[in-house]
Structure 1
Amino acid sequence: MSVAVVLPWRDTGPERARAHDLVTAHWERILPGARLVDIDTTHEPFCLAACRNAGVAWAERHHVDVVVLADADTLAEAEPVGAAVHAAARSHVVQLPYTEYRSLRGDGTAQYLAGVPLPDCNAFVVPGACSGVYITTPATWWAHGGQDERFRGWGFEDAAWHTAHTTLLGADPARHPGRVYSLTHPSAVKEGEQYTANAALCHRYHRAAADPDAMRALIAEAHTPEHA
């Protein structure tokens, strides 16, 4: 079984670059046989959803069986990742290799850089998180439309994706007991016209929940010429 780790990545400053380097080294340790690739698109502002879709398309072109879509600031534990990779190859749903998402923020990241084991670093647990690391086959990703590239900048693409996944695949993503840890870096702006547009689009996804026809129509909108 071939595996690739795809990191959506755009260099926007030294702290993000440091996180990217730490994450790359981490994945090389816990998945030594996997191919690692950085992915960006031409979207302005940065479009995480588009990078994830492009990463899955890259994996498909290179005949990769299972693709790990990992944020370039997020570390995962080896055992649940291994379990999720094997499960993804035979499952019709996306795998999340964690049941707890920990944001290390400044103090926890400093502890990690000083050699403190990840489980012992100070962290804020993000309830209900469904982002950070996804493990899937290309077929499963496209079966529920991937992620909507109308979400630009920060926010809401993960919540919308989760709703589409559950509505179209008939189940939540499968979770594996474990933790992921996000490293600190300058936060994106969580206000303004684009942020408001993201929130409104996510609300439309929630309104289409449990209605597969309405969800497919909403996803199809993203591929019309005015939105593509």
Structure 2
Amino acid sequence: MTVAVVIPWRPGTAERNAHHQTVRDHLTTLLPDALHLDADSGHTPFSRAGSRNEGVRQAESAGADIVILCDADTLVEAEPLHAAIEAAADGVLHLPYTWYRGLSQAGTAAYLKGVPADHCATDWAHQWATGGVLVIQPAAWWTAGGMDEEFTGWGFEDTAFRTAADALLGPTIKHDGTITHLWHPIEAGIGSPLHVAGGQRMQRYVDATGDPVALRNLIGEHATSSP
């Protein structure tokens, strides 16, 4: 089985660049035999949705059976990641975690100095995350419509894809474990026109929850496709 590990990524601040290297090194240690890729769709501003789609295209072209999409500021645990990889042959979306741990600025500094993540200070921890690290077959990614590139800027695209995947592939499966988010200044732009538009588009996915026909129609508007 060929596995590709994709980080949607564009160089930015020194802090973000350092986190990217930390995450890349971590993933290489966990999966030394995988194909490791950074993907940038070229959108302005940077598009996580578009770059994830581009990463899946590259992984598919390289012959990958399974693709892991991991944010450049997020660390995943080995056991649930390997469990998700093995299970993803079923053609549904897998999340290699049940808990999301967001380290504080001080907690991130402590982690980078060698303190175990579960001993570091956090800003939040919860069980409702839908992004961060995704494990899926490339063909299943496109069956679920790919990620909606109409989401511009920060937020909402992860939950929209999860909603589509649940309806079109079958219920997403989560594997017991924790992902850890490394702190950096927030760039959400909450209240900006882009953020408001993203929230409005997300509401359309929420309204179509569990309705494959409505979701296929919504996906058809952005018409993301494989190579």
Normalising by the smaller structure, the TM-score range is over 0.9
Deviation at 1:161, TM superposition (A): 1.1
* Separation of aligned partners in 2, 1:127 and 1:2: 30
Question: Cα deviations across residues 191-222 of structure 1 (Å, max 9, x unaligned)?
Answer: 21100110000000111112211110100001
1:112-123 mapped onto 2 (5 Å cutoff): 112-123=111-122
Same amino acid, percent of matched pairs: 46
Q: 8 Å contact 2:98–2:175 — kept in the other structure?
A: yes
1:44-55 mapped onto 2 (5 Å cutoff): 44-55=44-55
Deviation at 1:127, TM superposition (A): 3.6
Letter in 2 for 1:59: A
Against the structure 1 CA distance between its residues 191 and 12, is the aligned structure 2 distance closer, same or farther, given a 3 Å change threshold?
A: farther
* Separation of aligned partners in 2, 1:69 and 1:160: 16
Aligned to 1:79: 79
Aligned to 1:3: 3
- After TM superposition, the score normalised by the length of structure 1 is 0.94
- Give the secondary structure class of the aligned counterpart of 1:36: strand
* Separation of aligned partners in 1, 2:5 and 2:191: 31
Letter in 2 for 1:102: R
Paired residues in the alignment total: 222
* Separation of aligned partners in 2, 1:131 and 1:31: 20
Aligned to 1:111: 110
Q: 8 Å contact 1:15–1:186 — kept in the other structure?
A: no
* Separation of aligned partners in 1, 2:3 and 2:210: 32
Q: 8 Å contact 1:93–1:136 — kept in the other structure?
A: yes
Letter in 2 for 1:76: V
Letter in 1 for 2:62: H
Deviation at 1:47, TM superposition (A): 0.8
- Structure 1 unaligned residues grouped into runs of 5+: none
- Give the secondary structure class of the aligned counterpart of 2:90: coil
- Give the secondary structure class of the aligned counterpart of 2:219: helix
Deviation at 1:51, TM superposition (A): 0.8
* Separation of aligned partners in 1, 2:4 and 2:78: 15
Aligned to 2:68: 68
Letter in 1 for 2:125: V
Q: 8 Å contact 2:67–2:137 — kept in the other structure?
A: yes
Asked if 1:182 corresponds to 2:181, the answer is yes
- Structure 2 unaligned residues grouped into runs of 5+: none
* Separation of aligned partners in 1, 2:146 and 2:126: 23
Q: 8 Å contact 1:5–1:69 — kept in the other structure?
A: yes
Q: 8 Å contact 1:50–1:147 — kept in the other structure?
A: yes
Aligned to 1:212: 212
